[in-house]
Structure 1
Amino acid sequence: MDTRKTAPPLKIFSAFFRLGLTAFGGPAMVAYIRRLVVLDKEWVTEDSFKKGIALCQTIPGATAMQAAAYAGLRAGGPWGAVAAYVAFGLPAFVLMVTLSSIYVQVHDLPTVISLFSGLQVIVIALIANATISFGRRYLKMKQDIFLVTGSAIFLGLGGNPIIAILSSGALGLLLYRRHSLECEEKKAATASTKSWEMMRPALFLLLLAGIFLSVLFILRPDLFSLAVLMMKIDFFAFGGGYASVPLLFHEVVKVHHWLSNQALIDGIALGQVTPGPIVITATFVGYLLAGFPGAVVGTVSIFTPSLFLLLLIVPFFDRLQHSIFLQRALRGVLISFVGLLLAVTIRFGLAVHWTPISMLISACAFAALWKKINILWVVLVGAVISAMLL
């Protein structure tokens, strides 16, 4: 997994910042990252990039953000990873803070209410489409229906989605033990000294996270609670950014009552008109709770665990990806998210006031997303129509 060329962190930051300005479409941005680092800059080989994407799809977090960090790691080492990660997400953060500030000032105006009434039903179409995409990708066996149904009912009854995720991982070890997997189990060699040396950046990041949490605990207990919650969400968001939605719903709406159903949907909608992954909704949540400091804490916290896991696992991934036990557990975890997303789609749908026009807008948005029309255009066109008709 060697790179063709190396680059200083500043150059990596500049390249990924420019890319981040147009990073609409979530996971679809992986193709643009590949074009940048494999074809244009020649920082990463094709084979290395493919292995990196396999890693990014295995660990929790937004896939496109993880891909940027992995490419930066291969191009410029640990500091290159940080540079790419921060630069790729920075434009989305700046725009989301701006939109959140405007939202706080004008969200109760009649025109804005009409606008967000339309955006809310578009978000429901978006999550429904993500649910179907998850299902088409991961549902292959009869046992899968058991995990999907169980996860959906459990969350629908108010259960903690993290319990559903962990239980599904454990059940995956049992349910899929007789079925062949894409990879064969291989004996893992003892970790080399070089591998342990490569773990130092991850351990350093862990130390910084500990200091960050300690300072918040002493100075701002409210922000400490926000940080811990967002880190927990990111740590369990397997399968990409959309996997964070059921976790956000449970923690932010059901447990802590920080936001209403409608407000969280509004935040998700705003996230779709910003570049970057759907987890940028954490910026919106943080801003509504504690202004700009809350936005910073929410954003840093939602992205830190996945970067830590990436830096931690890269040295050992060649061995881990051949573990048949890991593959079984991971399959169970990913399938549980189909049920969790289904439950959230239903809960959001019940929370929205439906009219014939809003139903039509939602149906058209779903059809457009199904045809793979860019999310940005779906949201923008839907917003204009909503402002005029609702």
Structure 2
Amino acid sequence: MERPSLVRIFAAFLRLGLTAFGGPAMVPYIRAMAVDRKGWLSESAFRLGMAVCQLIPGATAMQMAAWVGLRSRGGPGALAAYLGFGLPAFALMAILSMLYFSAGDVPVLTAAFSGLQLVVVALILHAAVNFSRRYLDGLAAELLACVAGIWLGLRGNPILALVTVCLLSVIVFRREHGQPVTEHAGPVVGRPLLSAFVYLAGLGAILGALFVADRRLFDLGALMVKIDCFAFGGGYVSIPLMLHEMVEVRGWLTNGQFMDGIALGQVTPGPIVMTGTFVGYVVAGVAGAVVATVTVFAPSLIFLCAAMPFADRLIASPVARRVLRGSLISLVGLMAAVAARFLLAVDWNPMAALVAGGAFLALRLGADILWVVLAGAALSAFLL
């Protein structure tokens, strides 16, 4: 396998990051670049990474970018890939956040964002339907999903629901087995455990400095760290966690603002977790956007580096597979509850119902999310 320079890794993922729409849908493009065209990883090493990234918290596409860098050049390579892949989404999201709050009450823009909220309702419903079909394969799974959804609907802490469902899944799905490794993925590159320790120390230093300098930024950063640590099953898990913590508990955003943040995240490349950049900007301007972005992505990078030496054992663990299944089941219930909250938050009228229904139908028919979002905003600017 070729050993690329850190600059090449950063540049390759920066190019991918500029068009990284669709979150997990970018994984095949990462594979094509790293395995087929550049030969940085073997097919077996890439498949091992996919299995590991499913078992640890974080946004899948971001983690797979970091995995390629990690297998190619160790911890520094993981950081180079992570930064390159995420930088375009952060920059665009930060710019859009500034424009969102500087636009004022321009009627056309107000109508467009009202339409974007309708598209977000359709998007969350669409995701909830997809997740339910994929992960609810029996009565036990359906009941556990209902427990999580009802709990969040009653304004309960979604992290408590997530942990409870995961623990119950270890018992309920005791026939679930691990995924044995049948191919050799190659030697471990560099010293990933040392990199994990260095990145953990760096994150601790950032939070420590914020604690001394600005308690509000510290609270924001610590909260984002907690959200990422519990985002098992991909970036969508972060949505109910952010909704609960930012809107319900702290009141940093309104329901409408949070929905607008999700919508802006859909017209920028990168994972849906990039909504954290918008949230950070709402809380503390540009500094808040930077702090929120760093802290909502740092833990999953640390987890990935720490897990790499134990990857074979991790994916072969039946307990880990059951915990993952519990997380995905709870995600269905949590997303359904979020959809219900958003449905109640919208000011409905016949035209709004038409926009939301059309967006949902387009998504169910397989239309690209980006085009659905842009079309919804354009139509709403003229119709609402």
TM-score (norm 2): 0.96
Counterpart position of 2:303 = 309
User: Do 1:131 and 1:341's aligned partners in 2 also have CA atoms closer than 8 Å?
Assistant: yes
2:18 to 17, 21, 24: 21
**SS of residue paired to 1:199:** helix
One-letter amino acid of the structure 2 residue matched with residue 346 of structure 1: A
Cα displacement string for residues 72-113 of structure 1 (whole angstroms, at most 9, x for unaligned residues)? 111222111101101101001110111000101114322111
One-letter amino acid of the structure 1 residue matched with residue 316 of structure 2: H
Within the alignment, does 1:277 sit opposite 2:271 as a pair? yes
User: Do 2:71 and 2:189's aligned partners in 1 also have CA atoms closer than 8 Å?
Assistant: no
> How many residues are matched?
378
Cα displacement string for residues 283-325 of structure 1 (whole angstroms, at most 9, x for unaligned residues)? 0011111111000001001100111101111110200211112
Counterpart position of 2:143 = 146
One-letter amino acid of the structure 2 residue matched with residue 53 of structure 1: M
Deviation at 1:330, TM superposition (A): 2.1
User: Do 2:75 and 2:190's aligned partners in 1 also have CA atoms closer than 8 Å?
Assistant: no
User: Do 1:195 and 1:316's aligned partners in 2 also have CA atoms closer than 8 Å?
Assistant: no
User: Do 1:154 and 1:164's aligned partners in 2 also have CA atoms closer than 8 Å?
Assistant: yes
One-letter amino acid of the structure 2 residue matched with residue 181 of structure 1: H
User: Do 1:237 and 1:243's aligned partners in 2 also have CA atoms closer than 8 Å?
Assistant: yes
Q: Distance in 2 between matches of 1:325 and 1:53?
A: 18
One-letter amino acid of the structure 2 residue matched with residue 160 of structure 1: N
1:218 to 205, 212, 230: 212
Cα 1:213–1:180 shift into 2, 3 Å: closer
Q: Distance in 2 between matches of 1:25 and 1:217?
A: 35
Please, which runs of 5 or more residues in structure 1 have no aligned partner? 186-193
Deviation at 1:371, TM superposition (A): 2.4
Counterpart position of 1:331 = 325
Structure 1 range deviating more: 260-269 or 52-61: 52-61
Cα 1:195–1:270 shift into 2, 3 Å: closer
Q: Distance in 2 between matches of 1:258 and 1:100?
A: 15
Within the alignment, does 1:247 sit opposite 2:247 as a pair? no
1:38 to 35, 38, 55: 35
Counterpart position of 1:189 = none
Counterpart position of 1:228 = 222
Deviation at 1:181, TM superposition (A): 3.4
Counterpart position of 2:290 = 296
Within the alignment, does 1:118 sit opposite 2:118 as a pair? no
Counterpart position of 1:61 = 58
Counterpart position of 1:347 = 341
Cα displacement string for residues 127-185 of structure 1 (whole angstroms, at most 9, x for unaligned residues)? 111112211221112200111110010000010000001101111122112x3436479
**SS of residue paired to 2:223:** helix
Cα displacement string for residues 17-40 of structure 1 (whole angstroms, at most 9, x for unaligned residues)? 011001111110111111111111
Q: Distance in 2 between matches of 1:68 and 1:196?
A: 17
User: Do 1:115 and 1:387's aligned partners in 2 also have CA atoms closer than 8 Å?
Assistant: yes
Deviation at 1:114, TM superposition (A): 0.5
Structure 1 range deviating more: 221-230 or 75-84: 75-84
Cα 1:197–1:31 shift into 2, 3 Å: closer
Q: Distance in 2 between matches of 1:196 and 1:73?
A: 8
Within the alignment, does 1:173 sit opposite 2:167 as a pair? no
Within the alignment, does 1:10 sit opposite 2:7 as a pair? yes
Deviation at 1:198, TM superposition (A): 3.3
Within the alignment, does 1:359 sit opposite 2:361 as a pair? no
Within the alignment, does 1:101 sit opposite 2:98 as a pair? yes
One-letter amino acid of the structure 2 residue matched with residue 234 of structure 1: D
Deviation at 1:61, TM superposition (A): 0.9
User: Do 1:184 and 1:324's aligned partners in 2 also have CA atoms closer than 8 Å?
Assistant: no
**SS of residue paired to 1:213:** helix
Q: Which runs of 4+ in 1 moved over 4 A?
A: 194-197
User: Do 1:117 and 1:386's aligned partners in 2 also have CA atoms closer than 8 Å?
Assistant: yes
Cα displacement string for residues 347-376 of structure 1 (whole angstroms, at most 9, x for unaligned residues)? 011001112111111122112222222211
One-letter amino acid of the structure 2 residue matched with residue 126 of structure 1: L
**SS of residue paired to 1:238:** coil
Counterpart position of 2:185 = none
Aligned-residue identity in percent: 51
Structure 1 range deviating more: 294-303 or 50-59: 50-59
Deviation at 1:118, TM superposition (A): 0.5
Deviation at 1:117, TM superposition (A): 0.8
User: Do 1:195 and 1:315's aligned partners in 2 also have CA atoms closer than 8 Å?
Assistant: no
Q: Distance in 2 between matches of 1:242 and 1:386?
A: 26
TM-score (norm 1): 0.94
Within the alignment, does 1:162 sit opposite 2:159 as a pair? yes
Q: Distance in 2 between matches of 1:54 and 1:184?
A: 10
CA RMSD of aligned residues (A): 1.5
One-letter amino acid of the structure 1 residue matched with residue 168 of structure 2: L
Q: Distance in 1 between matches of 2:180 and 2:172?
A: 17
One-letter amino acid of the structure 1 residue matched with residue 299 of structure 2: P
Within the alignment, does 1:387 sit opposite 2:381 as a pair? yes
One-letter amino acid of the structure 2 residue matched with residue 162 of structure 1: I
